[in-house]
Structure 1
Amino acid sequence: MQFILILFLALPIILILYFKTQNPKHAKQELPPPGPPRLPFIGNMHQFDGRSPHTYLHRLSKQYGAVMSLKLGFRRLVVISSAEAVKEVMKSHDAVFSSRPALAALRRLSYDGLDFAFSPYTETSKEMKKISTVHLFNTKQVQTFLPIMRDEASKMVEKIARDASSSAATDLSETIMSFAANTVARIVLGKSYGNFFHLLHDAEAVLGDLFMEDFLPWLRWIDNLSGMAAKLDKIFQDMDTFCEEVIEEHMNPNRPKSMEGDIIDVMLRMKRDGSASFDITLDHIKALLVGIIIGGGDGTATALEWALTALMKKPLSMKKVQAEIRQLAGKKEMIDEEDIEKLPYLRAVVKETLRLFPPGPLLLPRETIKKCSINGYEIEGGTMVYINAWAIARDPTTWENADEFLPERFLAAEIDVRGQNPMVIPFGFGRRGCPGIGMGMSAIELALANVLHKFEWELPHGMKEEDIDFDSEPGFGLHKKNALRLVAKVVM
């Protein structure tokens, strides 16, 4: 009787132990990624450094791991900082990581989800991405843009030569941005526009702002009080008005001949003949324009500026790439796209620049559409995700001498930078990869080849090599903080 009583009292403990040992699902239950301690309501917002978020999050990842979590107000945030984790996303979960969070700036610039770049992943955005890849930026279409790139590169060279004739230092930051903006404007809009540069600059700046409504909705009044909400609305209205004017000009029978075959012309033709899988509206065209304009001009200018900065810091690399170009070109006035194919060291310089200085260090934020597992951690659906492309490309476990500018590493091995290799992803990857990669790479390589071919470069009087800085502006982009000023000497 006493034994039965003891057994009865011990039965609950026996059952608990039994089910704990017999339930493998429970035993293997995955935990969320680790992260820094957080405060009630605001989470980690008090710790978040918006001045240089990619370097701040990189430092945190060293403490909490390559897949870590934070809480920004009510939003869950996961930061991925390793090629191994990106490879897992690429291989098994690209669709899960394909959406965008409904952040104020992204939402406003996306025309309520009609685009492929900024909006959540819907059937519409999926079809818009397909149009961009198949019709707008396929290899054949990019070939038709090459004369524009050559012409704008020639104008840039002429501008630098004028500065050189007076021994004046060239503000290369401004000159390069003018080249990039004019190139994109002519390819997308059919001609250059005077206010295009300012619209581009304003739109890029607002994408890096943090809005209270995105993280603490009950404090959205702060956005109104600070003027940030009004600023965002004005930028959208200015961009919308600009797009309408450009589209109307394209629909005018007396439009400039340069508009034939540009991006808007292709989209309007698809709208008329119904060749798309859905009914294209003018808002679809506007949304596509905004995505291309912001992504295209900025990435090209940023890469060129950092490439020249890095080469000035590494004179041996500068001599090597110039010798390669001049040996091939001889007395040829301009390098063209056919020459680029025969310049492996130049192309390695571009790849190494994109590795060390990706234009969007955290890429654009993604959002998971359902629960999944990465590196053994459970990530909930609806989680905002930053992929730290800057940290991944400087990981010393992946790259030898990770922080050093060494183009030779891309000669020793064929390493893809267009979204296929998780070690270096300056253009993103998968469903959210940039569809204009081919156009962007062509513009960067062509412009860099010609400014290196035509000129010898020197530092302004009184400046030494150690004075060359790699400081970047605050925010989510990777723009040089201080303008790059160099003295050009024409090669005779």
Structure 2
Amino acid sequence: METQVSFLYVPVLLLALHIFTKHFLGKIRNFPPSPVANFPILGHLHLLKQPLHRSLARVSDNYGPVLLLQFGSRRVLLVSSPSAAEECLSKNDIIFANRPRLLAAKYLGYNYRSLAWSSYGDHWRNLRKISSIEVLSTHRLQALHGIRSDEVRSMIRRLSRLSGEGKSAVDMKNIFFETVLNVMMRMIAGKRYYGEKVEEVEQAKRFRDIVFDTFRYGGASSMGDFLPVLRWLGVGGGEKRLAELQKRRDSFMQELVEECKERMKDIGGGEAKKETMIEMLLSLQQKEAEYYTDEIIRSLMLTLLAAGTDTTVGTMEWALSFLLNHPQVLKKAQIEIENHVGQDRLVEESDIHNLPYLRCIINETMRMYPAGPLLVPHESSEKCTIGGYHVPAKTMLLVNLWAIQNDPKNWENPRKFEPERFEGVEESRDGFRLMPFGSGRRGCPGEGLALRMLGLGLGSVIQCFEWKRIGENQVDMVEGPGLTMPKAQPLLAYCKARPFVEKLLS
């Protein structure tokens, strides 16, 4: 009996030996601090709970703003302070310009060759150049501003009709989602898949299914990314599902590319053939076929669609939720628009620069509920020093943006919605305390497009409608699971078109 009891102590002793050996080896090597409970195989995975940004913030509160964690087989550097983020994304920007090889990146990122998931090098620089100069330049965005205005006007018309019926609250997440997707697809390929005038119904249905599955499966990390044994056993990885999804995405986008090629043949030469982003890239393909391949065009457009939709929709939904909970802020924004724009026309993108309080509302929303609470993971290409600690090569970097932007060390009353704190701040960033679009080489190239869409969409619903919560309770501001921080409960609200709106829409 005593022998059996003594054997029971063996695994406990071995576990304790493993944990303390890891802990003291880290100290000897001057690695960043690490939670002591580093279990065999799992590492620190047991610390993770949904939502991830909050559970990681709690770990940082206990152990410090620069931590070295072990997620299964992957070493992870977690930073949650402006100074540490600056060291990673400025001083050591090139070292951390790589991306880790995750399953979603393999399948949905064209075998790690898409703009979002390609590691730093000539191929990534080419993609970044195309996106920044050809696809998302100020000139290109300005040329397509009519599409955004048209779709926002359609959104206002739809909301006006729904408010006139007065039967039920409006699902604003769905309204924003369909509007932004129509904007993106009209800019990309000249097609709209929601609302009125949807001609290709079957193609529209395929598109909606693909978009739904991309947001459902494409943003989530798989346990197979951290525990390779699950992939070897064929469980927990979801590889088959991701491979099938990418096949559908790629086929759908290639069909759009072929349609654009046929349309360009019919139209012939001239500027008219460059109406959409795909057509613009195809016109460049005619000059440099080896540089602007069909695969690069498909990859860029799918990246733009995935990165530019859910994030923008979520920010608009959070912002309107805040306004419903703070009617004095809503009224102040409405007065600002009234003074600058008046009631004789709708808000335009060119007005946004002259609506500083509206920009404050957007900045405060992005501070409290950043669309990417954890920046897209980076990976170190060589060893470096962060916060005085040694960080080995091939370490995955997670920047907890939510923790930085909601830390009382960085912001006074951080959980209080206070747009006035950004009065006098022109940009959507404030050093490394506020960087909703990331920073450095891997910062989001779509920042200009996102801010245009946020300003126009939010400004229009503020200008054109009176808003009311459902019941007396505040709008629930709890976030749900997911990498883009969606609301746990989609926003439902009552709206009533203001008297001048019908005349402007007629």
Normalised TM-score (structure 1): 0.88
CA–CA separation in structure 1 for the residues paired with 2:81 and 2:236: 37
Q: Give aligned-pair identity as a percent.
A: 33
The residue identity in structure 2 corresponding to 1:343 is L
What does residue 184 of structure 2 align with? 184
For 1:61-460, list aligned pairs within 5 A.
61-167=60-166, 168-193=168-193, 194=204, 195-221=206-232, 224-225=234-235, 228-253=238-263, 260-274=274-288, 279-411=291-423, 413-414=424-425, 416-418=427-429, 421-460=431-470
CA–CA separation in structure 2 for the residues paired with 1:385 and 1:225: 26
Task: Please state how far the C-alpha of 1:227 moved relative to its aligned partner.
Answer: 7.9
CA–CA separation in structure 2 for the residues paired with 1:91 and 1:111: 28
The residue identity in structure 2 corresponding to 1:262 is T
CA–CA separation in structure 1 for the residues paired with 2:66 and 2:401: 13
Higher alpha-carbon deviation: 202-211 or 35-44: 202-211
Q: Tell me the secondary structure at the aligned position of residue 465 of structure 1.
A: coil
Are the aligned partners of 1:107 and 1:119 in contact in 2 as well (CA < 8 Å)?
Answer: no
Task: Please state how far the C-alpha of 1:256 moved relative to its aligned partner.
Answer: 9.3
CA–CA separation in structure 1 for the residues paired with 2:407 and 2:266: 50
Task: Please state how far the C-alpha of 1:481 moved relative to its aligned partner.
Answer: 1.6
Q: How many residues align?
A: 456
Task: Please state how far the C-alpha of 1:230 moved relative to its aligned partner.
Answer: 2.3
Are the aligned partners of 1:178 and 1:197 in contact in 2 as well (CA < 8 Å)?
Answer: no
Are the aligned partners of 1:371 and 1:379 in contact in 2 as well (CA < 8 Å)?
Answer: yes
The residue identity in structure 2 corresponding to 1:45 is L
- Structure 1 unaligned spans of 5+: 1-27
Quickly say closer, same or farther: Cα 1:253–1:315, change in 2 above 3 A: closer
CA–CA separation in structure 2 for the residues paired with 1:92 and 1:100: 18
Are the aligned partners of 1:103 and 1:214 in contact in 2 as well (CA < 8 Å)?
Answer: yes
CA–CA separation in structure 2 for the residues paired with 1:464 and 1:122: 55
CA–CA separation in structure 2 for the residues paired with 1:296 and 1:279: 24
What does residue 472 of structure 2 align with? 464
Task: Please state how far the C-alpha of 1:464 moved relative to its aligned partner.
Answer: 1.7
The residue identity in structure 2 corresponding to 1:232 is L
CA–CA separation in structure 2 for the residues paired with 1:166 and 1:451: 18
Q: Tell me the secondary structure at the aligned position of residue 69 of structure 2.
A: strand
Are the aligned partners of 2:338 and 2:463 in contact in 1 as well (CA < 8 Å)?
Answer: yes
Higher alpha-carbon deviation: 330-339 or 93-102: 330-339
Are the aligned partners of 2:274 and 2:283 in contact in 1 as well (CA < 8 Å)?
Answer: no
The residue identity in structure 1 corresponding to 2:408 is P
Task: Please state how far the C-alpha of 1:259 moved relative to its aligned partner.
Answer: 7.0
The residue identity in structure 2 corresponding to 1:200 is V
Q: Deviations over 1:153-194 (max 9, x none)?
A: 101101111110011311101000011111111112222242
The residue identity in structure 2 corresponding to 1:357 is Y
Whether 2:479 is the aligned partner of 1:475: answer no
Q: CA RMSD in A?
A: 2.0
CA–CA separation in structure 2 for the residues paired with 1:175 and 1:256: 35
Task: Please state how far the C-alpha of 1:470 moved relative to its aligned partner.
Answer: 1.2
The residue identity in structure 1 corresponding to 2:281 is M
Are the aligned partners of 2:66 and 2:80 in contact in 1 as well (CA < 8 Å)?
Answer: yes
Task: Give structure 1 regions of 4+ aligned residues with deviation exceeding 6 angstroms.
Answer: 254-259
Task: Please state how far the C-alpha of 1:385 moved relative to its aligned partner.
Answer: 0.9
What does residue 9 of structure 1 align with? none
Are the aligned partners of 1:61 and 1:68 in contact in 2 as well (CA < 8 Å)?
Answer: yes
